[in-house]
A = this chain, B = another copy of it.
Amino acid sequence: MTSYTVSELLSKDIKLVEVSVKGWVRTFRANRFLALNDGSSLQNIQCVIDFKNTEDAVLKRLTTGAAVHIKGDLVASQGKGQAVEINVNSIDVLGDSDPETYPIQPKKHSFEFLRENAHLRTRTNTFSAIMRLRSALSFAVHKYFNENGFYYMHAPIITGSDAEGAGEMFKVSKLNAKNPPLDENGAIDYSKDFFGKETNLTVSGQLEAETYAMSLGKVYTFGPTFRAENSNTSRHLSEFWMIEPEIAFLDLAGNMDLAEDFMKYVLNYILKNNREDLEFLENRLIAEDKSKPEAERNTMGLIEKLHFVIENNFKRVSYTEAIDILKNSKPNKKKKFKYPITEWGIDLQSEHERFLVEKHFKCPVIIFDYPANIKAFYMRLNDDGKTVRAMDILFPGIGEMIGGSQREERLEVLQQRMAELHIDEKELWWYLDLRKYGTAVHSGFGLGFERLVMFVTGMSNIRDVIPFPRTPQNAEF
């Protein structure tokens, strides 16, 4: 007798005598039809039980969540909704699930309740679909870079540098927190800490990735990054995964080409390989939308939105042009924007980004050449002296998906920029070395992985697209 996964069994269209399959009971109805799931697929396999010849004591244990081992014959299904089913010859309960206390019942649970039960929430269709998609997206990312000559680089998580300035950092320490050693000035003496200095959790692997790009050519990171801001919103996590490619000899235009090609590849991969999960989540969204006021509903279906990105050229428009468009736009003139567009130099908000993508251009948009003073110190200054070679890529529904730039490769310009922002050169001596020895044009971008998973799954709370979310006041599990 051969053992199969549910997914394998569902792909058979032949009759098979005596198959063996293990999984968890999703539902058991009419004392006869057991829906079995083992995570290999969104679909369950229907197992038809001969209840007359099965002990009552066993039938009673076939409750939602119980682990069972089923042996039987795979046959064409009599009923609707499935091509094949199993005529059960024997059923063995491996692990019971008390229906009185089991949290995951076959009914609709709120996402909030499921977050509190994050260790069990992948036992639901929605979260198993999300996490299968998350896994497939990860693989697509690695596959794309591998096929295109990039090397995967693990940037350090614990960092002695706090110069990147992307956000507030968590401190990492082994000092006695109650009685830390003090120096002669009464300050905490971090030279006595584990690493001999003050250390934090990284906010980005970019600067380290640059060191590898300037030797290996094309590299990318894909690892956890951290923000210690007290942001309790549906769009922020304290711990999230980031993808950061970095490429030597590539300018901003090339960087845009790369980002566009990359995004299209990854979304194509998902459309091709994860259709079933996507369709399930699309239907979930449609059902959810029905209970919402018209104005809040999604204007595009989930799969339609993926096609929208894949099939359109990303429109490239300078920040200056974008500001002009927004300034003269209807919502701005009619004072419909929460943040009115008044002058060149302000940062764009999500409402502006979505207007450009969804209303004005009707395609993904890349905005480039941002004002220097709203962007990071390492971005390449343009000849105008006031803009930098930055780019943001905007998607429908979600706004900014990718942020990137050509990096400042000129030593003196970088030093001046760091001085202006009071970034200590001693902190980043190694980063400056890249500009001293064989410097060259190079570029890269960052993609918050959870943002991508939200886009692909249609989930609106970022806590629902990562296994165990870390947010202010929450580090359970």
Contact = CB atoms under 8 A, between A and B. Distances in A.
Interface of A: 5, 7, 22-25, 38-40, 65-67, 94-98, 101-102, 104, 118-120, 122-123, 128, 131-132, 134-135, 138-139, 142, 146, 149, 151-161, 168, 170-175, 177-178, 180, 187-188, 194-197, 199, 201, 208, 211-212, 215-218, 223-224, 226, 228, 230, 238-239, 241, 248-249, 409, 430-431, 433-441, 466-468, 470, 472-477
A237 to B, nearest CB: 10
A438 B66 contact: yes
Query: 6 closest Cβ contacts across the A-B interface?
Result: A95-B439, A39-B216, A39-B217, A195-B475, A135-B151, A160-B475
B475 A197 contact: yes
Contacts of A195: 238, 470, 472-475
Residue among A102, A149, A158, A228 with the most chain B CB within 10 A?
A: A158
A211 B468 CA distance: 11
Given A146-B139, A149-B7, A467 B154 contact: yes
A161 to B, nearest CB: 7
Contacts of A476: 160, 430
A464 to B, nearest CB: 14
Given A120-B211, A175-B177, 11 more contacts: A94-B438, A95-B409, A119-B434, A120-B215, A128-B215, A158-B201, A158-B238, A159-B475, A160-B477, A171-B177, A172-B201
Contacts of A146: 139
A156 B467 contact: yes
Contact of A154 (B120, B122, B230, B466): B466
Contacts of A430: 119, 476-477
A67 B149 CA distance: 20
14 contacts: A40-B149, A94-B438, A119-B211, A119-B430, A131-B153, A132-B216, A139-B142, A153-B467, A159-B475, A170-B173, A171-B173, A173-B173, A174-B228, A178-B187
A340 B60 CA distance: 56
B156 A102 contact: no
Contacts of A437: 65, 95, 97-98, 102, 104, 120
A19 to B, nearest CB: 14
Contacts of A466: 154
Contacts of A158: 170, 201, 226, 238-239, 470, 475
A185 to B, nearest CB: 11
B154 A241 contact: yes
Nearest to A133: B151
A339 to B, nearest CB: 29
A194 B208 contact: no
B24 A215 contact: yes
A182 B131 CA distance: 40
Contacts of A128: 215-216
A296 B7 CA distance: 52
A177 B170 contact: no
A407 B153 CA distance: 32
A109 to B, nearest CB: 14
Nearest to A273: B146
Contacts of A122: 211-212, 215-216
A474 B101 CA distance: 49
B97 A217 contact: no
Nearest to A228: B174
Contacts of A211: 118-120, 122, 477
Contact of A223 (B224, B472, B475): B224
Contacts of A96: 438
A425 to B, nearest CB: 15
Contact of A155 (B98, B440, B468): B468
A290 to B, nearest CB: 28
Contacts of A441: 94
A368 B158 CA distance: 35
